Amino acid sequence: MTDTAPLRLAIAGLGTVGAGVIKLLEVNRELVARRAGRPIEVVAISARDRSKDRGVDLSPYEWVDDMASLAAREDIDAVVELIGGSDGPALTLARQCLARGKTLVTANKAMLAHHGLELAREAERAGGALKYEAAVAGGVPVIKGLRDGAAANRITRVYGILNGTCNYILSTMEKEGRAFSDVLEEAQAKGFAEADPTFDIDGIDAAHKLAILASLAFGVEIDFPSVDITGIRHVLAADIREAAALGCRIRLVGMAEYAGDADGDGGSEIGLFQRVHPMLVPMDHPLAHVDGALNAVVAEGNFVGRLFFQGAGAGEGPTASAVVADVIDVARDETGPAFAMPAQWLQRCRKADAGARTGRVYLRFLVKDRPGVLAEITAATRDAGVSIESVIQRAETADGGVMVAIVTHPGALACIDDTLRRLGGSDSLIGEPVVMHILD
């Protein structure tokens, strides 16, 4: 390797991933330098708590208490932001770094989902770069795959399992027949779920990642507020058994499609569909076989066909690997627009009408055990124009109720919404109905 000036880094945020980045750079120092074409040198580090034991020797690195000051230092070429959070110190640091023409490497999907367009524009204006491979699917190189490997394709649909916590819970419920609350508690004890698991189990984390993927895949502005989100809190062990009887597995799937004119000229008919929901995934689909805390992403291109990415979606090693992969790109000067094209060319799209879509649906009710309830439900589906493929009734649920599940024939999803409206005031129902789409 020739004598080349090192790439000088600052690392802000020294949690699991930040400590993992330092470990990786130490253990693979020679290999990383040869692949980067020059040494990678950590100049400064910063975090909220200086006294915390992170399982790695931090003494070789300069500690900086004021994270924001890293942006102004002349001896730093790029900043690795691993603080987390959509706003606050992470966003302040990101804005200041990019405004000064420094490169920002981040794993912060929440910040990107809310502010990614602004940050991409600032990076282009000031001559820096915004890199975020670790923000989606951890160690799975899906960002590079879509931005670079599939760059010549029109991507029509991107979807996948984007949250390892939810996938661990659902696949464990499936294997062991246990209730959601029991498995969630176990996931927290094992470190797969946070003490406050809201972002994971309510689908928000997956929605952040989906909004980023949609922008990258379709060349549209990030639109996180338009993602329809339903989490997995209301999935019952009985739902999983019924899915298995139908030849399916339940997975939390984020799906985005870009519908409209084929030329992508920004016409009024363009719509962006984005949804994170539990879905019934047929056993012959590869997503049905993604177990545990793994992530997987499927992208469909008009020339390349179906691309499938799978791997560890979180954790110290996989996420640190993705962060350092971006750092190596920066050292090579292999940077470009954050979302595969200049930010000014990203299209602004209206939200697609989900009700105009068609598909099959698993519709589950918990109802009071009394005569006439099934007739009430089927009358509502009939009046709403829903065609029923099968009806399942099980007297084995909690709350003194009976489970009624309906599988529909393919039809307009607006009819499902109409069914729920018709049943909205019924005192026969216990709790809210659960709707799970069946992946085609």
One-letter amino acid identity for 385? G
In the chain, count H helices and then E strands. 13, 18
**Digits of tens for pLDDT over the chain (440 positions)?**
445 899 999 999 999 999 999 999 999 999 999 999 999 999 999 999 888 888 898 999 999 999 999 999 999 999 999 999 999 999 999 999 999 999 999 999 999 999 999 999 999 999 999 999 999 998 899 999 999 999 999 999 999 999 999 999 999 999 999 999 999 999 888 877 888 999 999 999 999 999 999 999 999 999 999 999 999 999 999 999 999 999 999 999 999 998 754 444 444 456 999 999 999 999 999 999 999 989 999 999 999 999 999 998 888 899 999 999 999 999 999 989 999 999 999 999 999 998 889 999 999 999 998 889 999 999 999 999 999 999 988 876 656 689 999 999 999 999 999 999 999 989 999 989 999 999 98
* All residues at 6 or more sequence positions from 31 whose CB lies less than 8 Å from its CB, including other chains: none
C-alpha torsion angle, residues 387, 392, 397, 402 (rounded to 10): 70
How is 292-325 classified by DSSP, letter by letter? TTEEEEEEEETTTEEEEEEEE-SSHHHHHHHHHH
> Phi and psi at residue 228, in whole multiples of 5°?
-80, 125
CATH 3.30.360.10 region(s) of the chain? 142-312+343-353
DSSP-assigned letters across all residues of 372-404: THHHHHHHHHHHHTPPEEEEEEES--STTEEEE
Q: Quick one: 97 exposed, middle or buried, by C-beta within 10 A (0-12, 13-18, 19+)?
A: buried
CATH topology of domain 142-312+343-353: Dihydrodipicolinate Reductase; domain 2 (3.30.360)
**d(Cα 365, Cα 384) in Å, to the nearest integer?**
17
Question: Where in the sequence of the chain do the CATH 3.30.70.260 domains occur?
Answer: 355-438
Judged by DSSP in three states, 223 sits in: coil
Domain with CATH 3.40.50.720 in the chain: 7-135
Identify the pLDDT of residue 315: 85
Residue in this structure with the two tokens 């809201």, named with its chain if needed: 198
Q: Under DSSP, is residue 321 helix (H, G, I), strand (E, B) or coil?
A: helix
Instruction: Tell me the Cα Rg of the chain.
Output: 24
> Is-contact 416 383, C-beta < 8 A?
no
Which of 144, 209, 351, 368 is the catalytic position?
209
Distances (CA, A) of 436 to 106, 231, 273, 416: 33, 11, 17, 11
The pLDDT assigned to 3 comes to 52
- Location of structure tokens 């809210």: 432
For the stretch 29-47, what's the b/e string if a residue is b when 16 or more beta carbons lie within 10 angstroms of its beta carbon? eeebbeebebbbbbbbbbb
- For the 355-438 domain, the top CATH level (class) is alpha beta
Pairing status of strand 350-351 against strand 155-161: unpaired
Q: Which two tokens stand for residue 407?
A: 């599988």
Question: Which tokens hold the place of 117?
Answer: 């367009």
Is residue 52 annotated as a catalytic residue, yes or no? no
- Mention the CATH class of domain 7-135: alpha beta
